[in-house]
Amino acid sequence: MFDTIDFQTLRGIGLTQGLVAQMFNLQTEAGDRLMRVVEVQRDRLRLHDGVNERVAQVWPTLRLALQMQGEVLVVGDWVAARTGGDLGDSLWAAARVPPVNHLVRRDSSGQRQTLVSNVDTALLVMGAGQDFNLRRLDRYLALVRLAGVSPLVVLSKADLCTDPRARIDAVRRHTSDGVDVLALNGLDAASADALAPWLSEGQTLVLLGSSGAGKSTLTNRLTGAAQDTGGVRHGDEHGRHTTTARSLHRCASGACIIDTPGLRGLQLDADEAQLDEVFEDISSLAPLCRFRDCQHQDEPGCAVRSAVPAGRLLSYHKLQREARRHEMTVFDKHKLLSEWKTRGREAKAVSRGKRG
């Protein structure tokens, strides 16, 4: 535990009482300081103490401990920082404060990847124009709810949409669980006023969404940062990918914003039971179906199909299939692949037979 903690100063970069409670069993040394990770580079970190930023390295013992757990330091983590080592006054991240929460996905190889830690609210940014995609939104909502993080749907580029109110209504009908939704223009100063209730001192927010959705533009508006942004492509209003690394920025209100690159693919780190919990609107209706093992597809007397939007039900089925694949053993995957190949050969044989 640290000898002293300047709570008021550190609150300006997101320290909360919940995080303080996580520190009681932390192994520290005299002179260690509590600092937050605001950016991660290949072999360097940028740490903030509430007043200044400094470049640091990861203490070898901590690096090894994290590797054994299959983890790494990410933006939003809190660490015990100390000066010393072979380079004299160089700064080191020596211990990590156990995170209150973290957003985790699976990468293209199926490995778990932590995106950010210690977040209060996730701003799910989606263009109100042609980027509008409710099934993609389902995936992001599941990601943050699995972590116990509150979502706020932000429909960006509202100035390019002919009817933003209709888009808001569409999100509310689709999610049907009272999720907060805002439509705004990130270039407009009024966007900061609209988001003010979520930007109180000590709060940490993360911006998530596809490339070019307007996350960096919104970050610049809220924090006064000067990150590169790109215009939209003519014809389909698709934005250009500009952010390449996650980074934490401070707002004048005392809140912190973590900007993130667009995720090209978002596979969830969840099993079927966890998905049932985050799709509560579906799981709560399932007991009302006529059949106990109803799959909510074409069975008669299904209480879910009649109450849940078809697109959301499709999202649920697809994510459940992905979860089952993640839980399969290598043997199971080879067996399933063999079955698919056999069915493919049979289909081709039937097709050849029809052609004579």
Q: What pLDDT, on a 0 to 100 scale, did the predictor assign at position 42?
A: 82
Q: For the chain, how long is the longest CA-to-CA vector?
A: 85
Domain 102-259 belongs to what topology? Rossmann fold (3.40.50)
Name the strand (E) or helix (H) holding 348.
helix 330-355
Q: Which CATH number does 273-328 carry? A: 1.10.40.50
The larger pLDDT score, comparing residue 12 to residue 335, is at 12
Question: What's the number of CA atoms in the CB half-sphere (13 Å) around residue 17?
Answer: 0
Distance CA 96, CA 71 (A): 11
Distance CA 19, CA 118 (A): 8
268-296 confidence digits (pLDDT tens): 999 999 999 999 999 999 999 999 989 99
Cα separations (Å) of 32 from 55, 94, 120? 16, 9, 26
Query: 272 near 265, Cβ under 8 Å?
Result: no
Name every residue whose Cβ is closer than 8 Å to that of residue 284 and which is 6 or more positions away in sequence.
none
Name the strand (E) or helix (H) holding 180.
strand 180-183
Cα separations (Å) of 173 from 101, 152, 180? 29, 15, 12
The larger pLDDT score, comparing residue 216 to residue 143, is at 143
Q: In the structure, what pLDDT confidence band is assigned to residue 343 with cuts at 50, 70 and 90?
A: confident
Q: What pLDDT, on a 0 to 100 scale, did the predictor assign at position 350?
A: 79
94-113 confidence digits (pLDDT tens): 999 999 999 999 987 788 89
Minimal CA–CA distance to 282: which of 316, 245, 236, 248?
316
205-244 confidence digits (pLDDT tens): 999 998 888 888 899 989 876 554 545 544 555 554 455 6
DSSP per residue, 265-292: --EE---HHHHHHHSHHHHTTGGGSSST
Q: In the structure, what pLDDT confidence band is assigned to residue 137 with cuts at 50, 70 and 90?
A: very high
Q: In the structure, what pLDDT confidence band is assigned to residue 8 with cuts at 50, 70 and 90?
A: very high
Minimal CA–CA distance to 165: which of 182, 152, 151, 178?
182
Cα separations (Å) of 6 from 9, 13, 51, 155, 255? 6, 12, 11, 37, 17
Look up residue 112 and give its two tokens: 């778990």
Distance CA 46, CA 159 (A): 36
Q: How open is the CA angle 24-77-277, to the nearest 5 degrees?
A: 90
User: Which residue intervals of 42-175 are DSSP H helices?
Assistant: 60-68, 134-146, 164-175
Q: Where are the domains of the chain?
A: 7-96, 102-259, 273-328
Whole-number percent of the chain with pLDDT over 70: 90
Q: What pLDDT, on a 0 to 100 scale, did the predictor assign at position 234?
A: 47
Q: So what CATH class is 7-96? A: mainly beta
Cα separations (Å) of 204 from 141, 240, 259? 17, 26, 11
